[in-house]
Amino acid sequence: MEKDLPTAAPAPQAEAVSLSSPVSALEGIGPKRAALLEQLGLRTLGDLLFHFPREYRDYRQITPIAEVRQGELATVEAEIIGMRHVRLPRRQSLAHLTLQDATGTMSATFFGRGFLVGTVFVKGARGLFTGKVSEYKGPCLANPEYELLTGDEEDLLNTGRLVPVYPAAEGLTQRMLRRWVRALLPLAAPLAAEALPGKLRARHGLPGMEEALREVHFPGSPENAASARRRLAFEELLVLQADILERRQSLRRESRAHPNRINGPLLKGLHRRLPFVLTGAQERAVSDIVSDMASPVPMLRLIQGDVGCGKTLVALHAVAVAADGGAQTAFMAPTEILAEQHAASLRELLEPMGLTVAVLTGNTPDSRRIRELVAGGGVDVVVGTHALFQESTRFKRLGLAVIDEQHRFGVCQRALLSAKGPRPDVLQMTATPIPRSLALTVFGEMDLTVIDEMPPGRQPVKTRRIPESKLPDLYRHIGKEAGLGRQTYIVCPLVEESAHRGGQTAVLRHFQELSEGPLAGVPAAVLHGRMCQEEKDAVLRAFRRGEVRVLFSTTVIEVGIDVPRATMMVIENAAEFGLTQLHQLRGRVGRGSETSYCFLLGKPKTPEGRERLEILCEHGSGFDIAEADLRLRGPGEVFGARQAGISDLRLADLILDARLLDLARREAAALIGKPKELNALRGSPFFGMQRQIQSA
Ligand code: ADP
Ligand code: MG
């Protein structure tokens, strides 16, 4: 490369830089500032170009000085007619300016910026100053945004226009970021590939890439900003969706581990033995599953349905189909307790038909023997936690994997899908009823069945907040109900009192206090995650049988525990839990035909905590609650960070841009099978970014 570039003509520099050049390729960015930018994850010019404003300030309106009002935001265009460098204690300084326009004078102060006097601020200079008007010997702007006018309107970056506000970091000012981005735009914006086909852009009225980049950073109008943002967010979502659809397609090219036999004796037998009539939604789910399992492509289906809608029974049908074909099932539960429970209900229906069910968790005492049985084909269904997959359990003939309530995805699913060779059918179940387009993104490679109907006779759980003064009444009520055979869960956040989360109710102490106090004489027991498996089993069994009337528990009962006779749920320090978790906990009651209650205890410490409890009291549907949760916390938090790149989108918001997401999904589907256009899309600057994120 040529070293001695002619200094007069800057043009050749454009050839030298690319989007992957380091930020230091930009004038004014040395190693120190490059390090500051690195804090924001900005290493290359492309990163900086795609570092989008978080909002804009509208500083277009210019107010004559005579008309500025105290307390209001104003932009004035004025001449500097006087200035002082004021020294303050502790080596602080202040720049004090006197500004004048045709209608009057006012002052402006810049704290800590004394050094600007005589260097940047000079007498006679004209500029735009934007800030909140205060009063200090007449109207005064304190620490305003400013821009000195050079006569070239184009140069306005910091005021007198729609001004971008960037996510910034310690040591980086908005002024710096604006200046760099402005300098970068003419160099780098033309280098950003146009990845969207012209027809597609025309169809949705999307501006070209170069224009979008210009307008997203320094918009000529709010409409331009919105349109630029829409184009970029659309492209980002399109890239994400196309990627998901391609992954989905390639998964569908793999072949099934073992052929299934549809309508075999076990499926028929299961039908005869069903303890209830399936709901319409359960029927539909079963028929989706059966047709998946009949097809030559392995099943990859997500069953989404609110807590208590009866997903387990649906999954049993898949187990029966696999077993009819002589294949084994791995049934994954998120906790040991739930694994035990599933095993119990599977045994009840499957063992009479001659199938064997085993449990395998991290704590199974005779796990060696069980592993041997599984490997030898002596077990038809093995129920377990993810130990099932981590510890390289070998199956003789694995045909189906059922994954329950594992919306924090990950390990086992990836292990299953990336396993070389023939693939088992995969059925995943989740109680997180997220909006459809979002589900199709988060669980993008799967087919989706929604169970949107509850078994008959369910009543909404009456949910109330209970103030401390009413606690004696509550415990008296629980005691009385216990005498009538009704059962209660009391959930506490902790096992033992701990120093750093003091004030939260610990289950052991609470158990002791209540069973020696207001609940004396009521058969009660404790359940928590630090107990060994036998202890847990014994307690749950006693609760299930009704011998234990009040179960003190930590959140180990959160997922899936099913004791239809329990009708009351007390949640201590309720505001400490997340919304989805609260809904899951509440889902432990309201499973029978009797009216159930959920009592929320404790005073919320934050407004968000209060809001969570209010949402829970108002809404019974998991769908509404999931939406509210997504609004409050965002998808990154709800689904666990760094999942399929969804939490790291640069611009698009999976919730707020739901309609754009739908559109992107449809367009992505249309692009699949058009190699030329897909290839162009792979050139999208967003493509590389998501790759980086996913592999990070
Ligand atoms: P989830 O979808 O939360 O996993 P479960 O599978 O645990 O729900 O089912 C919740 C309860 O509803 C269980 O007690 C189950 O036996 C019962 N149930 C399931 N399907 C039906 C049905 N069609 N009619 C009546 N009760 C049902
Ligand atoms: Mg369940």
pLDDT per residue as tens digits for the range 84-111: 999 988 888 999 999 999 999 999 999 9
CA-nearest residue for atom 9, ligand 1, is 310
Judge if the beta carbon of residue 334 lies within 6 A of ligand 1. no
Q: What is the mean pLDDT of the chain?
A: 85
* Banded model confidence at residue 388, pLDDT cuts 50, 70, 90: confident
Report how far residue 338's alpha carbon sits from residue 626's, in angstroms, rounded to the nearest whole number: 22
Question: 555 or 551, which is more confident?
Answer: 551
Answer for the pair 554, 528: CB distance below 8 angstroms, yes or no: yes
> Which ligand is in closest contact with the Cα of 276?
1
Residue 5 pLDDT = 39
Averaged pLDDT, 608-612: 88
Whether residue 421 is predicted with pLDDT greater than 80 in this model: the reply is no
Q: What is the mean pLDDT of residues 163-168?
A: 89
- The CA distance from 544 to 537, in Å, is 10
Is the CB–ligand 1 distance for residue 404 below 6 Å? no
308 backbone φψ class: left, alpha, beta (φ>0; ψ -120 to 50) = left
Task: Look up residue 509 and give its amino acid.
Answer: R
Question: Is residue 383 within 8 Å of 357, Cβ to Cβ?
Answer: yes
* Residue 619 pLDDT > 60: yes
Q: How far is the CA of 488 from the centre of ligand 1 (A)?
A: 19
Report the nearest atom of ligand 1 relative to the CA of 313.
6
Is the beta carbon of 317 within 6 A of some atom in ligand 1?
no
Distance CA 534, CA 544 (A): 15
pLDDT, residue 644, reads 42
The finding on whether 518 has its CB within 6 A of some atom of ligand 1 is no
Ligand 1, atom 17: closest residue by C-alpha: 310
- The whole-angstrom separation of Cα 122 and Cα 366 is 84
* Closest listed residue to residue 493, CA positions, set 639, 405, 605, 630: 605
Q: Does the Cβ of 671 fall within 6 Å of ligand 1? A: no
For residue 14 the two structure tokens come to 């454009």
Distance CA 536, CA 361 (A): 13
Minimum-distance ligand 1 atom for the alpha carbon of 279: 23
CB neighbourhood size of 542 (10 A): 15
455 close to ligand 1 (CB < 6 Angstrom): yes
3-state SS track over 326-377: CCEEEEECCCHHHHHHHHHHHHHHHHHHCCCEEEECCCCCCHHHHHHHHHHC
d(CA 275, CA 455): 12
How sure is the predictor about 689, in pLDDT bands with cuts at 50, 70 and 90? low
Token pair belonging to 556: 């180990």
**Ligand 1 mutation pick, 309, 312, 338, max ligand atoms within 8 A of CB:** 312
List pLDDT tens digits, range 53-67: 988 988 888 899 999
The residue nearest atom 18 of ligand 1, judged by CA position, is 310
- What is the residue with the minimal CA distance to atom 16 of ligand 1? 310
CA nearest ligand 1 atom 20, residue:
310
Number of the ligand 1 atom closest to the C-alpha atom of 311: 2
Contact 133, 143 (CB under 8 A): no
SS3 155: helix
526 CB under 6 A from ligand 1?
Answer: no
Looking at ligand 1, which residue's alpha carbon is closest to its atom 22?
455
312 alpha carbon – ligand 2 mean position (Å): 6
Does 528 contact ligand 1 (Cβ within 6 A)? Answer: no
Output the CA 523–ligand 2 centroid distance in Å: 27
pLDDT at 425: 93
Which of 277, 591, 593, 623 should be mutated for ligand 1, with most atoms under 8 A from CB?
A: 591
165 and 55 Cβ atoms separated by less than 8 Å: yes
Q: Is 562 in the pocket of ligand 1 (CB under 6 A)?
A: yes
Ligand 1 atom closest to Cα of residue 345: 16
Phi, psi of 99 (to 5 degrees): -115, 145
Which whole number is the average pLDDT over 301-308? 87
Check if 564 has its Cβ closer than 6 Å to any atom of ligand 1: yes
Over residues 580-595, the pLDDT tens digits come to: 888 888 988 988 778 9
Is the CB of residue 132 less than 8 Å from the CB of residue 72? yes
Model confidence band, residue 3 (pLDDT cutoffs 50, 70, 90): very low
Mean pLDDT across 205-223: 95
DSSP category for residue 213: H
Of residues 263 and 579, more confidence is placed in: 263
Q: Which residue has the higher pLDDT, 266 or 334?
A: 266
**Cα 224 to ligand 1 centroid, rounded to whole Å:** 52
Asked if pLDDT for residue 302 goes beyond 80, the answer is yes
Task: Say how many Å lie between the CA of residue 284 and the centre of ligand 1.
Answer: 15
Is residue 323 exposed (0-12), middle (13-18) or buried (19+ Cβ within 10 Å)?
A: buried
Decide: 305 in ligand 1 pocket, CB within 6 A: yes
φ/ψ of residue 92, rounded to 5: -90, 160
Query: How far apart, in whole angstroms, are the C-alpha atoms of residue 114 and residue 520?
Result: 72
For residues 129 and 78, is the Cβ–Cβ distance under 8 A? yes
Name the residue among 506, 465, 490 with its Cα closest to residue 610: 465
* Ligand 1 pocket, mutate which of 271, 273, 276, 580 (most atoms under 8 A from CB): 276
Distance 587 CA to ligand 2 centre (A): 10
Report residue 549: phi and psi, to 5°: -100, -30
| Cβ of 282 less than 6 Å from ligand 1 | yes
Q: Is the pLDDT of residue 475 over 90?
A: yes
